[in-house]
Amino acid sequence: MNPYCNQKHKISIAIAKIKSQKVKVMKKYFAIIAVVLLTSVGVMIFYDKPTQIPKSKQNQQNAQITHIVVEKSKRILSLYAKDEVIKTYPIALGESYRT
């Protein structure tokens, strides 16, 4: 067998291995880039929407509190704007208060 042909065959095998390794590396990079792009698109779709406050909440935020009612037996504090309850809060009355 011709030593030149044997050496040429070894070189072609080495080149094929290098190309195979490059393809594997390129596939890994492609997979990483695809995951990053899909993740960023998902974030933009699901989290970039501005949150809209419902009309009732907007009215509550803009309302002027006219009076506060504390119902000690129910342990509730209520904020009123005119005759409409805007917000209620649970309250604690302490150890000395008995119902």
The runs of H, that is alpha helices, within the chain are 3-47, 55-62
Report phi then psi at 73, rounded to 5. Answer: -65, -35
- What are the residues whose beta carbons fall under 8 Å from the beta carbon of 88, sequence distance 6 or more? 76, 77, 78, 79
Supply the pTM of this predicted model.
0.39
pLDDT tens per residue, range 5-47:
677 777 777 788 888 888 888 888 898 999 988 888 777 776 6
